[in-house]
Structures are given as structure tokens and as C-alpha cells.
Structure 1
Amino acid sequence: ACDAVVTLTWNDNLEPDLVGYNVYRSTTSTGPYAQLNVATVPTSMFDDMTVSNGVTYYYVVTAVNASAQESANSVEVSATPQSGNMGGGDVGPPWINEFHYDNAGGDTGERFEIAGPAGTDLSGWSVVGYNGSNQLAYQTVALAGVLADQSGGFGTRSFAFSGMQNGSPDGLALIDGFGAVVEFLSYEGTMIASGGAANGLTSTDMGVSETTST
């Protein structure tokens, strides 16, 4: 969410008779929702420019096929547009800012930090751990909370991730409330995810590592 704009993205529906999507909004969690689009949305992105800064909005999306049949609602996501969250352009979605996965001796305090624009609601988002030995997802951590304005219109939140794999390589995927991959990072090498939201994606190697002496 940026200054008077909420940008929604979601995973494509792969049904062969897909026509497009409907986007619904409410100012109350779980609705009732009102449809925003007049014509069916043809792509998996929608800009809501009828919002007011400081108000939290709740969204769901449905898929529509050639017979005008509509799917069930997606998972609800929320956003709170804020004034000043744009500095010459969209500041973009949150990101994985840092993480800790390896200790000297037994691993303790494993966690990651999410950073992003102040006011970003992380409800419905998640981080998925991918194991480089088999490329599969091994754990999902649900995110929650709203990023506070800690400095310059940005904030962070830290989340525990017990059992985070020790690398060579392993990865973390940041998933938004519509199930779309926002970021797929790895450490101690690159990998290609198999299954889950990041299926088939190649990770971006952070280029850093922790050792057992960390």
C-alpha cells in the first residue's frame, strides 16, 4: 500500500476456460465485500485507487470462467495506504531483511526479519523454508502484525523460525496473502524450488553464510 493506492497481485488461475478475475473490498475483516471492478480483470494485478490514507481495507479475489461461474473467495488480505510512502516512485512490497540460521554448537535463536513500508499489514503473508538437499518446502511460518514507522517511513518485524536449515544451500521464500512469491532467497548457493508457491523458481543467492563458529 502506498500513497492513496493499494496494488494487489496474486497467482494466475490456470484453468483453460479462465476469463479473468473479480476484486472485492471491505473496510471490515471478513466482509461484507463490494466488487471494485466493472469489467472482469484480465491479469493477476489490480490497482485500487479509490482508497483513503490511514484506512485499513480488506480484499478478496475470485476467478471467473467462460460460463460466468465464479470461484470461492481467495484468502483475505489487508492493506493500509499511508501518505508519504512514495518517494519518487512506489516503495514496493516488504522483503526479507536479515536472518540467522547457524550457531556454534546447537542452533538457537533462529529467526528472520521482515522490513518494508510503514503501515504494511503482514496478515496472510508467510515465509516458506526450502531444503536444498531435495528442493522441497519443509516449514512455513505465518506472518502477522503491521510494520511500524521506525525510521523514514519504514519498519521491521522479527519472527522465530525454529529448525531453519543450515545451508549448502537452503532457501527462504516470502509469500504474499494471495500466494504469490515476492522474494526467493538462498544462502550458501542457489537452488530451484520443487513444489509449493515457489515451484520451479531459481533462488537468489545472498552471497553470505554463517558457520558453526558464528
Structure 2
Amino acid sequence: MRTLFIILLVNIVPSLLFADNINFIWDPNVEPDLAGYRLYRSTQSGQGYVMILEIPCGPNDITCSECTDAGVPAGEYFWVATAFDTEGFESDYSVEQTTVVLGNGEIQNLRIISRGS
């Protein structure tokens, strides 16, 4: 499996609760052995990532090109994503995405566009 993984758009949508929902959208990986994606979050840039979501899917499955990190409390957060294949190999982390969740239905950095590796 190639380690090319691109996150083109991260769209952040606040909820009306005390915690916020962070929505991630990307162009799907088209490798024939794609098994899914993993989303990791940390409170420190470049380290301490913890897997918070695993999105199982197959190649060209357009239904698995987005996910939501739900109920994120106020604070500064850093996210990376990976793709993994049917043999269990996982790509390198994408480019780190960051935002500040204010916890009152507001989020700084409403739109982040980047390319991962």
C-alpha cells in the first residue's frame, strides 16, 4: 500500500452544546487494498496522539470520506489521520490539523486546507 494520504479539507462545524463536534472531510484513498482510516487526537502538537476513531471502508467507497469527532470539550487540539490496508499496514500521519474549541458553540480556525503525506 502506498503511503499517500491526502486530507484536502477539514470543515469545522460547532454544535450548540457545551462540547463541540469537529467534522473532517477528505478525498478518499483509491488503493485496491484500502481497509479504512484512523483519526488521532492530541492536546500537544506533534506528539501524544490517541486514536479516537476507526472508519472501516473499501476502495472507492465515497461514504467513508468523512468523520466527526463528537463532544470535544473546550481546549486546543491537534489531529492527524492515517489510511490502513487489508494486511494491517498503516500510512504515515497526515499533516497535523489544529483548532481551538471554545466550548460555547464557537471554534477558532473555521476552515483548514492542507495536504498530507
With the length of structure 1 as denominator, give the TM-score of the two structures. 0.39
- The residue number in structure 2 matching 1:47 is 68
- The residue number in structure 2 matching 1:78 is 98
Matches within 5 A, 1:14-33: 14-33=30-49
Query: Of the candidates 113, 116, 120, which is equivalent to residue 109 of structure 2?
Result: 120
Structure of greater relative contact order (alpha carbons < 8 Å, 6+ residues apart): 2
SS of 1:80's partner is strand
- 1:177 offset after TM fit, Å? 2.8
Q: Deviation string for 1:17-43 (max 9, x for gaps)?
A: 101101100011112100002x43431
SS of 2:72's partner is coil
- The residue number in structure 2 matching 1:9 is 25
Unpaired runs of at least 5, structure 2: 1-11, 58-63
Cα pair 1:11 1:178 within 8 Å, conserved: no
Q: Deviation string for 1:117-148 (max 9, x for gaps)?
A: x61166xx4xxxxxxxxxxxxxxxxxxxxxxx
Q: Deviation string for 1:43-91 (max 9, x for gaps)?
A: 12110113113x1110110001110110111010012233234xxxxxx
Matched, 1:177 2:97: no
- Give, in whole Å, the separation in 2 of the partners of 1:79 and 1:41: 25
Matches within 5 A, 1:107-186: 119-120=108-109, 125=112, 176-178=113-115
Identity of aligned residues (%): 30
Bigger Cα Rg = 1
Unpaired runs of at least 5, structure 1: 86-117, 126-175, 180-214
Q: Deviation string for 1:85-109 (max 9, x for gaps)?
A: 4xxxxxxxxxxxxxxxxxxxxxxxx
Q: CA RMSD in A?
A: 2.1
- Give, in whole Å, the separation in 1 of the partners of 2:48 and 2:65: 22
- Give, in whole Å, the separation in 2 of the partners of 1:36 and 1:9: 16
- 1:11 offset after TM fit, Å? 1.8
- Give, in whole Å, the separation in 2 of the partners of 1:78 and 1:33: 12
- Give, in whole Å, the separation in 2 of the partners of 1:41 and 1:30: 25
Cα pair 1:22 1:35 within 8 Å, conserved: yes
Cα pair 1:6 1:49 within 8 Å, conserved: yes
- Give, in whole Å, the separation in 2 of the partners of 1:13 and 1:76: 18
With the length of structure 2 as denominator, give the TM-score of the two structures. 0.68
